[in-house]
Protein backbone atom coordinates (compact mmCIF):
# COMPACT_ATOMS: atom_id res chain seq x y z
CA UNK A 1 0.00 0.00 0.00
CA UNK A 2 1.24 3.45 -0.89
CA UNK A 3 1.51 6.22 1.69
CA UNK A 4 -1.70 8.30 1.88
CA UNK A 5 0.23 11.50 1.10
CA UNK A 6 1.72 9.94 -2.03
CA UNK A 7 -1.72 8.79 -3.16
CA UNK A 8 -3.02 12.32 -2.63
CA UNK A 9 -0.11 13.77 -4.59
CA UNK A 10 -0.79 11.43 -7.53
CA UNK A 11 -4.51 12.16 -7.35
CA UNK A 12 -3.76 15.88 -7.65
CA UNK A 13 -1.37 15.18 -10.53
CA UNK A 14 -4.05 13.13 -12.33
CA UNK A 15 -6.70 15.84 -12.10
CA UNK A 16 -4.24 18.56 -13.14
CA UNK A 17 -2.90 16.59 -16.07
CA UNK A 18 -6.41 15.65 -17.24
CA UNK A 19 -7.32 19.34 -17.29
CA UNK A 20 -4.14 20.27 -19.13
CA UNK A 21 -4.45 17.49 -21.72
CA UNK A 22 -8.15 17.91 -22.51
CA UNK A 23 -9.17 14.58 -20.99
CA UNK A 24 -10.97 13.68 -17.76
CA UNK A 25 -9.97 11.36 -14.95
CA UNK A 26 -12.00 8.22 -15.68
CA UNK A 27 -15.55 8.81 -14.40
CA UNK A 28 -15.44 5.23 -13.13
CA UNK A 29 -13.89 6.27 -9.82
CA UNK A 30 -12.94 2.75 -8.82
CA UNK A 31 -10.95 2.25 -12.03
CA UNK A 32 -9.27 5.66 -11.67
CA UNK A 33 -8.38 5.12 -8.01
CA UNK A 34 -6.80 1.73 -8.79
CA UNK A 35 -4.43 3.37 -11.29
CA UNK A 36 -3.69 6.30 -8.96
CA UNK A 37 -2.89 3.81 -6.20
CA UNK A 38 -0.58 1.87 -8.56
CA UNK A 39 1.25 5.04 -9.58
CA UNK A 40 1.67 6.04 -5.92
CA UNK A 41 3.06 2.60 -5.05
CA UNK A 42 5.69 3.03 -7.74
CA UNK A 43 6.56 6.49 -6.43
CA UNK A 44 7.11 5.03 -2.95
CA UNK A 45 9.01 2.01 -4.29
CA UNK A 46 11.04 3.58 -7.10
CA UNK A 47 10.82 7.34 -6.70
CA UNK A 48 8.94 7.74 -10.02
CA UNK A 49 5.33 7.23 -11.16
CA UNK A 50 6.06 4.33 -13.49
CA UNK A 51 2.91 3.21 -15.32
CA UNK A 52 1.27 0.44 -13.24
CA UNK A 53 -0.42 -1.22 -16.23
CA UNK A 54 2.62 -2.86 -17.84
CA UNK A 55 4.92 -5.71 -16.93
CA UNK A 56 8.61 -4.72 -16.69
CA UNK A 57 11.45 -7.24 -16.59
CA UNK A 58 13.50 -4.57 -14.79
CA UNK A 59 11.68 -1.55 -13.34
CA UNK A 60 14.85 0.46 -12.69
CA UNK A 61 16.02 0.01 -16.29
CA UNK A 62 12.60 1.05 -17.48
CA UNK A 63 12.76 4.24 -15.42
CA UNK A 64 16.03 5.17 -17.14
CA UNK A 65 14.23 4.92 -20.52
CA UNK A 66 11.51 7.28 -19.20
CA UNK A 67 8.89 6.31 -21.77
CA UNK A 68 6.47 4.79 -19.21
CA UNK A 69 6.78 7.47 -16.54
CA UNK A 70 3.33 9.02 -16.17
CA UNK A 71 2.27 10.91 -18.22
CA UNK A 72 3.92 8.42 -20.57
CA UNK A 73 5.13 8.97 -24.13
CA UNK A 74 2.05 7.22 -25.50
CA UNK A 75 -0.18 9.73 -23.71
CA UNK A 76 1.88 12.76 -24.72
CA UNK A 77 2.30 11.65 -28.32
CA UNK A 78 -1.04 9.94 -29.10
CA UNK A 79 -3.25 11.14 -26.21
CA UNK A 80 -3.94 7.47 -25.50
CA UNK A 81 -3.92 6.14 -21.93
CA UNK A 82 -4.12 2.36 -21.96
CA UNK A 83 -4.63 2.33 -18.16
CA UNK A 84 -7.90 4.23 -18.68
CA UNK A 85 -6.89 6.91 -16.20
CA UNK A 86 -7.21 9.75 -18.73
CA UNK A 87 -10.34 9.27 -20.81
CA UNK A 88 -13.29 10.95 -22.47
CA UNK A 89 -16.37 11.88 -20.43
CA UNK A 90 -17.71 8.44 -21.40
CA UNK A 91 -14.72 6.69 -19.78
CA UNK A 92 -13.12 5.64 -23.07
CA UNK A 93 -9.51 6.15 -24.10
CA UNK A 94 -8.91 8.45 -27.08
CA UNK A 95 -7.70 6.36 -30.02
CA UNK A 96 -8.03 8.84 -32.88
CA UNK A 97 -4.28 9.37 -33.27
CA UNK A 98 -3.32 5.68 -33.23
CA UNK A 99 -2.83 3.63 -36.39
CA UNK A 100 -5.48 1.01 -37.10
CA UNK A 101 -3.09 -1.83 -36.28
CA UNK A 102 -2.43 -0.53 -32.76
CA UNK A 103 -4.08 -2.53 -29.96
CA UNK A 104 -5.89 0.60 -28.74
CA UNK A 105 -7.75 0.83 -32.05
CA UNK A 106 -8.36 -2.87 -32.14
CA UNK A 107 -9.86 -2.99 -28.65
CA UNK A 108 -11.84 0.26 -28.56
CA UNK A 109 -12.32 1.16 -32.24
CA UNK A 110 -12.11 4.80 -33.23
CA UNK A 111 -12.63 7.10 -30.24
CA UNK A 112 -12.47 10.71 -31.40
CA UNK A 113 -10.70 13.41 -29.43
CA UNK A 114 -13.32 15.82 -28.07
CA UNK A 115 -10.67 18.50 -27.40
CA UNK A 116 -8.13 18.37 -30.26
CA UNK A 117 -6.70 21.74 -29.30
CA UNK A 118 -5.34 20.31 -26.02
CA UNK A 119 -2.70 17.70 -25.18
CA UNK A 120 -0.33 15.78 -27.47
CA UNK A 121 2.60 17.95 -26.38
CA UNK A 122 5.11 15.54 -27.98
CA UNK A 123 3.21 14.87 -31.20
CA UNK A 124 6.05 15.52 -33.64
CA UNK A 125 6.79 13.36 -36.70
CA UNK A 126 10.09 12.01 -35.30
CA UNK A 127 8.54 11.12 -31.92
CA UNK A 128 5.50 9.44 -33.51
CA UNK A 129 7.75 7.50 -35.86
CA UNK A 130 10.09 6.35 -33.07
CA UNK A 131 7.24 5.28 -30.78
CA UNK A 132 5.54 3.28 -33.52
CA UNK A 133 8.79 1.75 -34.69
CA UNK A 134 9.39 0.47 -31.15
CA UNK A 135 5.81 -0.76 -30.93
CA UNK A 136 6.13 -2.69 -34.20
CA UNK A 137 9.53 -4.17 -33.34
CA UNK A 138 8.50 -5.28 -29.86
CA UNK A 139 5.50 -7.12 -31.28
CA UNK A 140 7.14 -8.38 -34.48
CA UNK A 141 4.47 -6.76 -36.62
CA UNK A 142 4.89 -6.67 -40.36
CA UNK A 143 4.24 -2.96 -40.99
CA UNK A 144 6.32 -1.31 -43.74
CA UNK A 145 8.63 1.47 -42.63
CA UNK A 146 7.21 3.72 -45.33
CA UNK A 147 3.70 3.35 -43.90
CA UNK A 148 4.90 4.28 -40.41
CA UNK A 149 6.69 7.35 -41.76
CA UNK A 150 3.63 8.49 -43.70
CA UNK A 151 1.38 7.93 -40.70
CA UNK A 152 3.75 9.93 -38.47
CA UNK A 153 3.80 12.89 -40.88
CA UNK A 154 0.02 12.94 -41.31
CA UNK A 155 -0.78 12.50 -37.62
CA UNK A 156 1.59 15.27 -36.53
CA UNK A 157 -0.34 17.65 -38.79
CA UNK A 158 -3.57 16.97 -36.90
CA UNK A 159 -2.64 19.59 -34.31
| Interacting span for ligand SF4 (CB under 6 A) from 68-76, 94-102, 122-130, 140-148 | 68-76
Helix (H, G, I), strand (E, B) or coil at 69: strand
132 binds ligand SF4 (CB under 6 A): no
What's the angle, vertex CA 89, arms to CA 87 and CA 94, rounded to 5?
Answer: 35
Stretch that binds ligand SF4, among 66-74, 96-104, 122-130, 141-149 (CB under 6 A): 66-74
CA distance 5 to 55: 25
Can 81 be counted among the known catalytic residues? no
Q: Specify the residue, 25 or 136, whose C-beta has the smaller distance to ligand SF4.
A: 25
One residue of 18, 32, 83, 98 binding ligand SF4 per CB under 6 A: 83
Q: Is 81 in the site for ligand SF4 (CB under 6 A)?
A: yes
CA dist., res. 155 & res. 20, Å (int): 20
H helices within the chain, ranges in order?
4-21, 29-46, 59-65, 73-78, 103-108, 125-139, 145-156
Contacts with ligand SF4 by CB under 6 A lie at 35, 51, 53, 68, 70-72, 74-75, 81-83, 85-86
Catalytic residues: 53
Amino acid sequence: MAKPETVEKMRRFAYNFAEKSGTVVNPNKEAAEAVIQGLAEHVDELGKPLCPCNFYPDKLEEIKRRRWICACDEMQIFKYCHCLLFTTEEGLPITEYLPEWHEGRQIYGLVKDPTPDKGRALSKPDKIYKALKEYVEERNLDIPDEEIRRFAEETAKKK
